[in-house]
Amino acid sequence: MNLVLETPPESLADTLFQPVCNHLRIEPANPVPVDAAYIKACIGAAVSRLDGNQGRLGRCLLTQEWTLYLDCFPSCIELPLPPLQEIIHLKYLDTDGTLQTLDPSAYRVSGAGSWRPEITPAYGETWPDSRYIADALQVRFRAGYGEDEDSIPPPILQAINVMAAHYYVERQPVTFTTPHEIPLLACDLIAPFKIYR
């Protein structure tokens, strides 16, 4: 299995800048604080810690497109990175080595709104014969809560605020007194959204 990001999400650094400043109790100067770029970098770091294939949540926050590569058709294709918005295409190398696009009527998508969406053959259908080689099957899909921060669940947004503020205030990973990790408040906020596989 191989997973490739095709279309990255929009940056949340600009739209979450004011909420993070509010959380930090920083009054934006005329027009912004001196270290606005650093605050935005902290927001970017917090988002990347949660979002996408390498994020702690194992899901997509804003809309983004990915391609899942498999070596063959399994009985059920489990899609990572919920919430699933749509399947863009499902392509495969046939036994002659020609790349084919499978008609959407030949498969069924279930659990699109759940933590584990799946693709199976439609009723009365079977997967076509394909070559058994690396990346013979390509599933391109769109995932994420939506196009802007208003579509992201409020606990996740609050966790981003807490984490960005933590990164801004604690600029080193360890102090002489105690090590600093993600604040427990943020861990509690994101716990219900974390995907376990």
What is the pLDDT at residue 100?
97
What is the pLDDT at residue 91?
98
- 197: confidence class by pLDDT, cuts 50, 70, 90: low
C-alpha–C-alpha distance, residues 78 and 75, integer Å? 10
What is the tens place of the pLDDT at every residue in 146-178? 999 999 999 999 999 989 988 888 776 555 565
C-beta of residue 161 within 8 angstroms of C-beta of residue 183 = no
